[in-house]
A and B are shown apart, each in its own frame.
Chain A
Amino acid sequence: MLKLLPFIFVVGCLFPLFANPYWFRIASSVLLLSSLSYAHNLLFYFLGYPAFGGVAFFGLGAYTFSSLYSKGFPLIPSLLLSMLIPSLSALILLPIMLRLKSHYFAISTLAFQVMLMELVENIEFFGGTKGYALNLSHHANIIAYYLFLLALLGLFLLVILLERSVFGRTLKAIKEDETASLTLGINPMPYKLSMLVLMGMSLGFLGGAFSLWSAYIDASTVFNPTLSVKTFFVLILSLNSPIYGPFLWSLFFEMFFETLWSNFPQMHGILLGLGIMLLILAFPRGLKWKRS
């Protein structure tokens, strides 16, 4: 399947040229959701930390980008800072949370997300409840699409690299048995911090790109807990297939969501919830994939 990657990438690059606006929007959503999933998996799959509130870095990136770009900062520096600010905040705040495990860590990151959401909504400097409306050209969503595609490619290759490297095996050792890994001379903290920074940078970049796609951001959009739910739905189903699973399940999820929305507009929420429950019951650890 990896041999198809260049072909798939070329198709992805050419897609905006022949797709109608409807399918272009769906493709952008798929790229965004799968990139969010790969980014969260850096901490979840490799280290076992479920950052339910990881969307906080996405929101932080979106706000960083929007506040700079709306004031005339160029695109690339704004994007770079949308990566830097979330990764720095991850480095400062999350090491304390890394002492927690499993659901305790998950809840503490959710609390962090809610805290940030309240902060930006209540401080005018960050846009308050008005948020940011960006004055963008009509090509901005195409630029955003290519940024999502770039992020997806980068994260996909990173996951493959980690799966096949000693660094990645060290991460898995820490996840599977941190105590045993300590007795082999492994210091877990640099590994945890580096994955934290990578996750923060990736999510911040995606947040910046999302601002271009959406043209308007506010706290309820970019700190939306529904994004976390969708992401972790994909991740749970991808537990046994960390390389291809996030992309394939994101594709399935967005198509499923779109089908429900188009055909059952009043009931799509209920049906979506039921569908998620049934899928998780049927595949509690995702679809089996052979060990890489």
Chain B
Amino acid sequence: MTTKELDGPGLWTTSVGSFPKPDYIKKARSQFARKEISREDLLDLERRATREWIEFQTSIDTDLVVDGEMYRGDMVAFFAEELPGLEIGGLVRSYGNRYYRKPIATGPVGRDHAVTVDWWRYAQSLTERPVKGMLTGPYTICDWSFNEHYATRRDLVLDLAKVIRDEALDLERAGAKFIQIDEPAASTRMDELDLVIESMAIVTEPLSAHTITHICYGDFHNAYPKMLDIPVDQIDLEFANSDYSLLEEFSDDPFTKYIGFGVVDVHTHDQESVEAIAEGIRRGLKHIPANRMFVDPDCGLKTRTVEEAKTKLTNIKKAVDVVRAEL
């Protein structure tokens, strides 16, 4: 594919996707689960939280905004709830004391309505800055679900790819200029990286938006540089939580796409200093030019507190300003 080039100085600030939910959303979600409040009540609060996050991002002058996913439980279950053929299953552990409801593919997967477009429209109505369309990739939905219907994983992934492509097309029609198709599971199994590439091609082939994928916590050493064959304009990666060791891979095989450059660890209460982040960006700039670099946290910030997340985002913005001044 040909990369869609962007104008501007680069070092654009953005976020990977999720933000922490304020306490009133957590409370409302459990009240809704207990049928104590209506869906409309919950929606009102989710809209309010989305607005607050957009206002915050605007206040720190974020270049590429996300809606923060106030209305999503998790990135796979959210789609599983809306797509025919997928059901929400029981609780399984992800790490530590964190659990999620793992979906089950119980029949042919399809799509009978747009899942993310209304939220994207709402978020975009609140800001002049571009808002990312946020989708979960077909490979990750498959990998993070049980499969009781399809004979092979490939069959399930390819059906999901058509569903996500249709959703991406709807986002594009609504006006989204940046569409992120997350594939955190992409670097899990080297023997299935071809399937990641094949399914992503189905999703991105008809799109004219700038496409992004986020990949994390995998066997990066073995997935790189083949990962560059995933047909998207930008790959978003975590650097801070491995002290930027991923950059070593770029010495032998240059990174050829736009990069989403993760500069704060999302799984620690500790705050990286502005100078530490700035130094991380400088290290990145030895391998990737500024005008190909987006700067963001390592991953979604939803496991932090609201205050922790805001501090991390503010520090990123300050560090970017420091480094921009040096360019």
Partners in one complex: no
